[in-house]
Amino acid sequence: MYDRLKGFRDFYPEEMAARRAVADALEETARQYGFREIGTPALEAVDLYTDKSGEEIVEELYAFEDKGGRHVAMTPELTPTVARMVVAKGQELQKPIKWMSTRPFWRYEQVQQGRFREFYQTNVDVFGSSEPTADAEILAYAADALTTLGLESADFEFRVSHRDILGGLLRAFDADVTVRAAIRAVDKSEKIDPAQYYDLLHEAGLSYDQAEQFDELLATEDLDELTDFAGTDAVADAVGNLQNVLDAAADFGVREYCSVSLETARGLDYYTGTVFECFDTQGEVSRAVFGGGRYDDLIESYGGQPTPAVGVAPGHATLSLLLQRAGVWPEEALSTDYYVLSVGDTRGTAARVARDLRDRGHVVETDLAGRSFGAQMSYANGVNAETVVIVGERDLENGEVTIKEMASGDQTTAPVDEFPGDRDRPTYDDFV
């Protein structure tokens, strides 16, 4: 017996059916907004991450030297990869670029609720638009995807913030503040107690009195108060941009899901403007379900032309926790439209019936193990077959097949030459 590695998971067919339904909903909603699917590699050069985040990031990666002596890492996130892809094509790409993909990622980190070392995300990004409508469309996509999955406004909220507001407020204090470190402290604020939070802000350059004042500013519901405190055009512009995004979200019909929460910061350094995180309103999912935001400087930092960008990445592990909590996780069950049961020397006819049903787009199974009638019926029940088509020697002598509706147990016969005939989805009801 071999044990599965810590932080990695197996998905058996029943659970995988539910996971596929969720992924399909996320992707289909993105397609409705015009996002186009891309494919990306599992390995990237380590430099793609260390050049932006420092050598210490390697401790969080599955990084190694390959057989060609190259230092590579299994991709821990998609954003640097898509930035590289945009730079590679440059002006060839029609803007705005709207891309989406679903794939696994890998990070060597502590395993906890909703966080694994191998995890899946659906990434949805817009490149080439700095308009508030681009931010709002990302919010609208995320809200539509969640409601398509069965969630309601009482189940989740988007906590929306703006990195430039946070940075502007921090710079307004009479202190030598390391803005990056202070924003990282804000990102951790809901995960630690207030004393630890103030300690981190103090380490970033604020006095304890200033840390408390900063914390109070973030809690205000009056954004004009922030503009008055900072007294700078940068904060005024950021407040105006945030309001414009929320106004556009209202036009998109998703303002009800959004609340202003300046304590939301997003920990990654490449975020530049609007940021948001999705939370379970009941608090049973103890961390953000997923997040997103604007990263206008990243493409240029990788050598491309200045290209504004905004995106979101629903993580499937945490999303599954929210869907389960709300009671809308898809049923974990196998689904089979038809089981074609063969009895005696009838394989040719049974194969023709199965082929004709598959040609109509149905999920069809047949016997692959030479089992008895009873064993085949048991198997058909086990795979949740909706209809069993019995192709037996006696039936064929009469020019018939038997159609059995598994839910009710009712059955009838149908002319073999007319099954399935011109019917798209023939059932018991068509022949009684």
List, as residue ranges, the binding site for L-histidine: 77-79, 107, 121, 125, 266, 270-271
- Alpha carbon of residue 7 to chain centroid: 18
Q: Which two tokens stand for residue 128?
A: 């080439």
The residue among 425, 429, 427, 431 whose CA lies nearest residue 362 is 425
- Alpha carbon of residue 369 to chain centroid: 39
DSSP string across 220-252 = -S-HHHHHHHH-SHHHHHHHHHHHHHHHHHHHT
- The radius of gyration of the chain's CA atoms, rounded to the nearest angstrom, is 28
Angle, vertex CA 45, rays to CA 40 and CA 49, nearest 5: 90
Backbone angles phi, psi at 101, to 5 degrees: -160, 155
Q: Which two tokens stand for residue 232?
A: 């700078």
Residues 6 or more apart whose CB falls under 8 angstroms from that of 361 comprise none
How far apart CA 269 and CA 266 sit, in angstroms, is 8
- The answer to whether residues 200 and 311 touch, using CB atoms and an 8 Å cutoff, is no
Binding residues: 77-79, 107, 121, 125, 266, 270-271
How far apart CA 384 and CA 172 sit, in angstroms, is 64
- The answer to whether residues 365 and 385 touch, using CB atoms and an 8 Å cutoff, is yes
Output b/e per residue, 122-158; b: 16+ Cβ within 10 A.
Answer: bbbbbbbbbebbbbbbbbbbbbbbbbebebeeebbbb
Q: Do you know the residue count of the chain?
A: 432
Site of tokens 């005939």: 421
Type of residue found at 177: V
Per the rule left: phi > 0, alpha: psi between -120 and 50, beta: everything else, 44 is: beta
- The answer to whether residues 157 and 258 touch, using CB atoms and an 8 Å cutoff, is yes
